[in-house]
Structure 1
């Protein structure tokens, strides 16, 4: 997340209207035997604690420092909104079990409205019938265990093509540079790979390397996530909306239009070329065709007033932006950690050599036997969760969390990053130690039932793509470890600086030296 707010420029203006606005928005204390949670000191008139999140340090770290001083549950004031921040597994469990329904909705924001088709994206849609219907369709047709297993051939095919690109680059480099290793920027490679996997599932097409539309789409998605993670002043101080501080609203409108144009092209292509009828006759529909089939048979008011094209485009966009960035970000962090911890990389290679060998390529069915590889993935998601702050929730009724009275309309921020580094749960919490998932935490998984490790969230608004993501992560990382020698380009450690945004991207590119470690025939299509 990032906050480009020129706070000082508004200081005098804020002071002038502070008392008037405070009178308007002042709330009466909630009656009852439960008390209010502690509130962080230092709130300014009107903007509340926004200024504390406006420095160079990332918000999840700032909120983590607050938790160190005030405990695992506290509130902050972000403009006119009261925000509950929870920072340990016990409090998160209270929110996502006992109070799961109370916190099942999402707050309305400019990003959700402008870039989410007026709240049609099901991940940010208010809790209700529309959310349930679209989520069910997406889960059944793409993200259920059966569908994930049936789509394995697409993941394998795309990964094999992408790895062949690296091998061919190595061959060319060896001829030209007479070098035993080729340098590859892996962040971009991961992004291209995951993009093609998701686009193939949705539309049946793939982008070739450096494809203009593919590069354009990745650029737009990065901007999309950056804007979704931004603190927009008017979300918290509504009467300042006309100023568009930081130019966020303008950028959101432009980004929304760019993404809509891409989705529009795909949708019109399937309509005009009648791919739907062709695929239906073959019994092999891609996801956009499945949606066309469903919409064709739906009544006008079945999707809460959204027209058919909006439902299709928003649902496809949801899969694209959610699946691409989060998975590629996790792969980037995993490889970075392994390069900085070569002993762990060596152990992972030995495990794959032992269980798979060098005469065949690792398959998804092998993943259940690769316990150290799975531990690496868990430890990566613990240290660098793709979403360090869970997508905000909003309470639709009064509830009790941790013994505190939480009124209706309170926003909820779950600091996943802080939960994953809780020193009361994790020994040496800032250290990369995959072995912990073979010993002290061997029974902990990421499916939302162990609240000390919730990279995909938990409860009814948990990310439904967890299984799909884990298969892509395991297969991709495993194949790279099996098929290549992987080294840093210098003796310096890989820079592990995080960048701002809704997803926890690595701030600098991940440049890696690679060389094949298997026979040449293992790199053919």
Structure 2
């Protein structure tokens, strides 16, 4: 009986594979791709980092190729021209759905958050709330004091144990705390990491839950691709469900605290005022989903980008010297760089753009799934296919960029840090109508924090050796070896600390 239960689904799947994938493939002009195994398809080929593997496939099969992950078709796009085809006109609408995986069902409130909801009226309203009510230019400007305060905290921590000489520091924890605190304060008014943690247990729980969600995001279990494995996947499903329940309890506590704080000026307090006006739509679940999306999307990505930027500047001291000279000339050493100053620092903007190009935090854009059969590059892409855009490959395409592997901020000198001409050539925040609504916030915190680090400290490499620029596996493109560097406070830090103490 045990063998029967195990073998029968496999036999049925093999028959279904022959019926579905053999017969339907003849009806579609699918993009080319490598030979596939029965049942598993190309799952056995997936070895991290996947964006580099997909680059090798695109070199062999062309800028669009197809794969099969178990029972699910996958099409990978690796050129700017085809990305434009995906994200403009009718295709952008048809490709505005997300493929469904197990984790968002339990963590993202059954696919009702702005990042996971199907394209339609509900998603459009969530997007409008993000763009107008939460992440508008006016609201981001109102939260400038939070960004400045958290950056000053980071600078103070860097200088605390330094008495004038160079001290060795690991930047990742500082950058992570900076971006986490910034988002959480904007959303709820609470500060979690730094010198004064009022509830260390709560802070550690939050960090643990975010790490677990990131580790289990996407399709992390073979059952997402091989349906018959769901029979054996109850343990994974139970685990993901428990993560979702724990995060929901955490968010509900935060929401209840914000509800009691009548004078709060946070994103949640604004959403609660909308809840009073339209309680049937702005339920606690909708608000918690918006909180979750902000906290997950706005923390790791900015911290990862800042670490890549500092690593690149340390490996290219001439670029670091030029960025420092620009800041010294236009801002000086009497006051800390402010957000309005960024417009007058084109080279700093170019450094940020070049970091986004070479080291996008999401090398593969969040997957799309067409709601009907479409064509991309002359090939058929059937409905429900998982469509992936390899932004990392496009950002390094020699047909688009001279010396694409080289860190060269000067390439953006005539673009003022990027513009409309680059929208399908560089896309660190995605593309089309489902691009990241927090792009403006991400650019602001990265530019202001990076400029502050350059203005307030001298930086050198440890032992003079090159910084390791290998990327670690995972959805967010982290550095494999965390950045350690030598830093020494510049005169402005003494002035800032004295002013703060006065």
> 8 Å contact 1:448–1:458 — kept in the other structure?
no
SS of equivalent residue, structure 1 residue 45: coil
In structure 2, which of residues 39, 45, 64 is the aligned counterpart of residue 46 of structure 1?
Answer: 39
**How many residues end up aligned between the 2 structures?**
488
Name the stretch that deviates more: 210-219 or 88-97: 210-219
Deviation of 1:268 (Å): 1.9
Determine if the alignment matches structure 1 residue 387 to structure 2 residue 362.
Answer: yes
> 8 Å contact 2:177–2:193 — kept in the other structure?
no
Deviations along 1:260-285, one digit per CA (max 9) or x if unpaired, are: 232122112223xx21x334xxxxx3
Q: What is the CA RMSD across the aligned residues, in angstroms?
A: 2.4
Tell me which residue corresponds to 2:302: 327
The 1-side partners of 2:144 and 2:344 are apart by 18
> TM-score with structure 1 length normalisation?
0.87
In structure 2, which of residues 390, 410, 413 is the aligned counterpart of residue 435 of structure 1?
Answer: 410
Distance 1:91 1:200, change over 3 A: same
Structure 1: gaps of 5 or more residues: 1-10, 280-284
Superposition map of 1:88-487 within 5 A: 88-98=79-89, 99-170=91-162, 174=163, 180-209=165-194, 211=197, 212=200, 213-244=202-233, 248-271=236-259, 274-275=260-261, 277-279=262-264, 285-300=265-280, 302=281, 308-438=283-413, 442=415, 445=418, 450-487=423-460
> 8 Å contact 2:305–2:360 — kept in the other structure?
yes
The 2-side partners of 1:250 and 1:188 are apart by 31
> 8 Å contact 1:447–1:466 — kept in the other structure?
no
Tell me which residue corresponds to 1:85: 76
Tell me which residue corresponds to 1:282: none
> 8 Å contact 2:363–2:390 — kept in the other structure?
yes
The 1-side partners of 2:8 and 2:312 are apart by 47
Deviation of 1:92 (Å): 0.4
SS of equivalent residue, structure 1 residue 502: coil
In structure 1, which of residues 4, 11, 25 is the aligned counterpart of residue 20 of structure 2?
Answer: 25
Superposition map of 1:510-521 within 5 A: 510-519=483-492, 520-521=494-495
The 2-side partners of 1:19 and 1:255 are apart by 34
Structure 2: gaps of 5 or more residues: 1-5
SS of equivalent residue, structure 2 residue 491: coil
Deviations along 1:458-503, one digit per CA (max 9) or x if unpaired, are: 1110111111111101100000000001122222222222122221
Deviation of 1:329 (Å): 0.8
> TM-score with structure 2 length normalisation?
0.91
Deviation of 1:514 (Å): 1.5
Deviation of 1:229 (Å): 4.2
> 8 Å contact 1:448–1:456 — kept in the other structure?
no
Distance 1:51 1:447, change over 3 A: farther
The 1-side partners of 2:10 and 2:263 are apart by 65
Distance 1:449 1:349, change over 3 A: closer
Distance 1:374 1:40, change over 3 A: same
The 1-side partners of 2:92 and 2:422 are apart by 13
Deviation of 1:367 (Å): 0.7
The 2-side partners of 1:13 and 1:189 are apart by 54
Tell me which residue corresponds to 1:66: 57
Name the stretch that deviates more: 317-326 or 36-45: 36-45
The 2-side partners of 1:207 and 1:448 are apart by 40
Deviation of 1:384 (Å): 0.8
Deviation of 1:15 (Å): 7.5
